[in-house]
Amino acid sequence: MHRKTTKCQGKSAFSLLVQCRGDRKEGPTVNVLRTPDARFVNLLGWDFEPHYAELPDGDGGSLRMHYADRGPPSAAPVLLLHGEPSWAYLYRKMIPIIAGARHRVIAPDLIGFGRSDKPARREDYTYKRHVDWMHSFINALDLTSITLVCQDWGGLIGLRLAAEQPDRFARIVAANTFLPTGDQSPGEAFLRWQRFSQETPNFNVGRIVNGGCLTDLPAEIMAAYDAPFPDETYKEGARQFPLLVPTSPEDPAAEANRRAWDKLRKWMKPFLTAFSDSDPVTRGAERLLQAQIPAAKDQPHTTIMGGGHFLQEDKGEELAIIVVAFIARNEESLRQV
């Protein structure tokens, strides 16, 4: 049966849910929450003009994805993909540095996060849909020669994108991320986070991001991470993400991730890891990426000291400089060929 998307900007959460329940009488519907623009005014350190792309929602309707776009429009893009439960704000320290090196920087908000639309029901979020939405995004913008920079769920999605559309990607920087298949345990640190994400009555995004940093974030920064979520009804995507990580071989996403690994084990474009030294969730994953991806050989892999899980907060400027140097090194190598 055909779904339609209901866009409910400016409505209260209560009236929106009443309207969406009414819409369901006509058939299954992707009911969408859209965070009011006023929530994003005067955020500390965030002065990027909003851009939007309309994407298929997977059920015959559409969703609006927000992205920041800075730098020369004709330059090859650097695609910055965030994870859980952050948004493009996480890259605010990095965007000016990379754009200042004459690269086009594109930082989208995943569906369910930031200024992007937020389906109101948990079941509307699946791993496959997140991948499909991002495929639609890079196709809509017709991005090619992409440098992918991915952290947390940005890697779980981004590494799939690169494996499934390799011709659009030029190189990859993986930071505190991995591509799980469920064939190995995700580790106790992740399992604790997964339990917490489902059991806590108040999913306090700002405090969660603060807890994943080594630095103590000011109240204004934590408020900026809370901005996309006026109340708990806007957080279904954030709540669902931890459950979508494959933790068993029978997970719905496990086979697609195995196929992606088959491609990545033959990946011959430059691949760099830039993990932090203090992330209990992804610790050690960089060694597996380096060992299994051929193009990771002889790259200047970096461990960023003094960084937690959200290394873009703790050491964003340092990570940006690493990305710029990595691109320059590879472009110089190509010129010498």
Q: Which residues are catalytic?
A: 152, 279, 309
Dihedral sign, CA of 134, 245, 182, 282?
positive
**How far is Cα 317 from Cα 304, in angstroms, rounded to an integer?**
11
Place of tokens 């369901």: 24
CA distance linking residue 203 with residue 193, whole number of Å: 12
User: Nearest 10 degrees: CA dihedral of 119, 112, 99, 40?
Assistant: 90
Residue type, 179: L
DSSP letter, residue 200: -
- Nearest-10 crossing angle of helices 127-140, 153-164: 60
Tell me the Cα Rg of the chain. 19
CA angle 134, 247, 172 (to 5 degrees): 40
For the chain, what percentages of helix, strand and coil (3-state, to nearest 5) are there?
Answer: 45, 15, 40
